[in-house]
A and B are shown apart, each in its own frame.
Chain A
Amino acid sequence: GQNIDQPTEMTATEGAIVQINCTYQTSGFNGLFWYQQHAGEAPTFLSYNVLDGLEEKGRFSSFLSRSKGYSYLLLKELQMKDSASYLCAVGKAAGNKLTFGGGTRVLVKP
């Protein structure tokens, strides 16, 4: 089975940095995905890590350590529009199946 843990909620100030951690236990690992989901909307793809290390995409970066079963999503220069839930998901090779964590709700305050 798979067990994915991430914090339920985080609060940060506009312009600051927030790091969302995700730990997982899985077999057949085929990548770690991060999705953003605004309230009542569809999740949208943010990043993908399959090898250890940091992937940077503008204000968002994602890190993976496969040996530790650990990933984080780093959001820099926070903007009000970044208030959303951030979903960590582990991919399995067969069928591109994803198993999602419960999501971290990030609230950005002025």
Chain B
Amino acid sequence: DADVTQTPRNRITKTGKRIMLECSQTKGHDRMYWYRQDPGLGLRLIYYSFDVKDINKGEISDGYSVSRQAQAKFSLSLESAIPNQTALYFCATSNHGGTVNEQFFGPGTRLTVL
């Protein structure tokens, strides 16, 4: 079941270009997250959002921005892409108020910046 979807799945771009990665969810969760994954470094949090219009920086937000205009959508932008932003990007969602509140991940976007 494709509860969390990401577009595009793969993208190759050039240094200096503006890129937007989209994430949509049908799980009805209020919390959404953007991570990047690099070999050997694990997943690192870029930005997260508790609800519409709520935006919080993660540990590596420099060079990125996000938008949460609807509960089901959370987009990540690279204003001026650089090669060290080449990585696998994951969107995730979670609910609140439950016992576990695990995060559910989208399929990922592989971004290459030349």
A-B contact count (CB 8 A): 50
Size of the chain B interface, CB-CB below 8 angstroms: 25
Which one of A8, A33, A89, A96 has the greatest number of beta carbons of chain B within 10 Å?
A96
Contact for A41 among B102, B103, B108, CB less than 8 A: B108
Are A100 and B43 within 8 A (Cβ)?
yes
Indicate if the CB atoms of B103 and A8 lie closer than 8 Å: no
Q: How large is the interface on A (under 10, 10 to 19, 20 to 34, 35 or more residues)?
A: 20 to 34
Given contacts A87-B42, A100-B42, contact A33 B102 (CB under 8 A): yes
For residue A5, give the distance in angstroms from its CB to the closest CB of chain B. Answer: 11
Across-interface contacts of B103 in A (CB, < 8 A): 45, 96, 98
| B42 A102 Cβ-Cβ under 8 A | yes
A11 contacts B by Cβ under 8 Å: no
Q: Please state if B105 and A96 are interface contacts (CB–CB under 8 Å).
A: no
- 8 Å CB interface, B37-72 against A: 40-45, 48, 50, 56, 58-59
List residues 28-45 of chain A with CB under 8 A from any CB of chain B. 31, 33, 40-45
Known: A48-B102, A89-B43. 10 other contacts (CB 8 A): A4-B42, A42-B107, A43-B105, A44-B105, A45-B102, A45-B104, A87-B42, A95-B48, A96-B96, A102-B40
B-side residues, CB < 8 A to A, are 31, 33, 40-45, 48, 50, 56, 58-59, 90, 94, 96, 100-108
Residues of A within 8 A of B (CB): 4, 8, 31, 33, 40-45, 48, 87, 89, 95-103
